[in-house]
Amino acid sequence: MAKAKKIEEVAEMTVAEKLKALYDLQLVDTAIDKIRILRGELPLEVQDLEDEIEGLQTRVSKYDDDIAALDKSINGKKQEIANAQELIKKYEEQQNNVRNNREYDSLSKEIEFQTLEIELSEKRIREFTVQIEEKKVVIDESKGVLNERKLDLENKKKELEDIIEETKKEEDVMEKKSSILEGIIEERLISAYQKIRANALNGLAVVPVERDACGGCFNKIPPQRQLDIASRKKIIVCEYCGRILVDSQLSEENE
């Protein structure tokens, strides 16, 4: 029932009224565009900073895990050194009770082997310690950058929140007006309007004739065509850019 009523109301609108409603809609949508442009790249900057912070936190966490693994390896090597020292002590005591040179030489080889094991473990401990120090440097650098990015994010979020707070009420009013205007214009025209608007870099689908030219692409419009536009008896589009054209008087009245 409501849809049928809307169709009836739309059918009763003259072309001049349709043009006025379309231009009104364009003015409202342009105002909404300007509000969103005011926010600029801030939402994207906030998202980029959040992604970078997440990446830095992941990096720091990974290096922390690496350091924990290296510490575990160092402790393991220290235990191996302790075990080797115990064996050396044991073999040295056994050497005092050997019965022949062959047993003494065998124990000497075992002592030599355990001594080499100790030296290898000590070398590994030094290598692991250097790796830990290098990773700690990277962690400190990453944490420094992380703190800077967190501060940047906090500032950007505050800036974005302030702009949204300043413009939200106006945007809500404009969006309501846009919905109302779309509701009184026939769907065929709305569809065409939205398609033109989507393809236009500046979002302008309905433009006035200014200085004998299209207000969108600035190509000259022949005098007879200007008279047809001013008569407001049919919807006329620019033959160059496809935008809907209105006469300058209508644009002055609406603005």
Q: How confident is the model at residue 35 (pLDDT cuts 50, 70, 90)?
A: confident
Domain definitions of the chain by residue range: 2-38+186-254, 42-166
* pLDDT, averaged across the chain: 90
User: Mind listing the pLDDT tens digit for each residue in 219-233?
Assistant: 999 999 999 999 999
Q: What is the pLDDT of residue 143?
A: 95
Q: What percent of the chain clears pLDDT 70, i.e. is strictly above it?
A: 95
Identify the CATH class of 42-166: mainly alpha
Instruction: Please write the tens of the pLDDT for every residue from 156-214.
Output: 999 888 888 878 888 899 999 999 999 999 999 999 999 999 999 889 999 999 999 99
* pTM (two decimals): 0.55
Calpha distance 164→203 (Å, rounded):
21
Reported as a pLDDT band with limits 50, 70 and 90, residue 254 is low
CA angle 213, 255, 238 (to 5 degrees): 25
The DSSP result for 33-78, as a single string, is HHHHHHHTTHHHHHHHHHHHHHHHHHHHHHHHHHHHHHHHHHHHHH
Residues 157, 149: Cα–Cα separation, whole Å? 12
pLDDT at site 167: 82
At 255 the pLDDT is 64
Q: pLDDT band for position 3 (50/70/90)? A: very low
Q: State mean pLDDT over 38-43.
A: 81
pLDDT in tens, 171-187: 899 999 999 999 999 99
